A and B are shown apart, each in its own frame.
Chain A
Amino acid sequence: DAGITQSPRHKVTETGTPVTLRCHQTENHRYMYWYRQDPGHGLRLIHYSYGVKDTDKGEVSDGYSVSRSKTEDFLLTLESATSSQTSVYFCAISAGTNEQFFGPGTRLTVL
């Protein structure tokens, strides 16, 4: 399995609080991605990174920001969490191909 971990694995928070999810890789891959998965929508891309400090938006980026200060870490921040951001969040990595390796997921509940 690709060396990719996500933390925390589960989180319950309240509306309006900031939340940061972390994705950590040991593969030294250039590309990293954040997806969310909701019933009826499948996986949707939030943000992605193509290098340190290089990021871009996906299809559902509103309400989310990301940062990548090191190759191995990609952070997803919800500045002010809302109930609509309750979801399962997956991080993925790739070496610059369409073969992506996914992490175990973070289940976030916003009350």
Chain B
Amino acid sequence: DAKTTQPPSMDCAEGRAANLPCNHSTISGNEYVYWYRQIHSQGPQYIIHGLKNNETNEMASLIITEDRKSSTLILPHATLRDTAVYYCIVLGGGSNYKLTFGKGTLLTVNP
């Protein structure tokens, strides 16, 4: 599975968009980009995933660059409850669905 690089921490003002970057320059053609988050003391929560097209759901949008070497998770209107560690994970087929969590990005949403 491809390795990912994320900034260790970011800040965002409440109500503004939070843009969380992830680099995955060694991603291969059949690997997806997944995003999870973990709010303090809770289990991780799935957010969104994509292959090469941009994706949007009720929680967030995922923008993947054309060369697929990086992506950005966008929380359009961050709230205090979005303060969490956000994990970018790259996975392909044949992984037996085993997730590997790195250190992620601690997003702090400030009032």
Contacts and interface: CB of A to CB of B under 8 A. Distances in A.
Interface of A: 31, 33, 35, 42-45, 48, 50, 56, 58-59, 90, 92, 94, 96-105
Contacts of A43: 44, 99, 101
Give 9 closest A-B pairs by Cβ, nearest first. A102-B43, A43-B101, A42-B101, A99-B46, A90-B43, A98-B91, A102-B44, A98-B97, A94-B97
B7 interface: no
Interface in B61-78: none
A35 B42 CA distance: 13
Interface residues on B, range: 20 to 34
B98 interface: yes
Given A98-B32, A98-B34, A45 B98 contact: yes
Contacts of A102: 43-45
Nearest to B91: A98
B102 A42 contact: yes
A45 B99 contact: yes
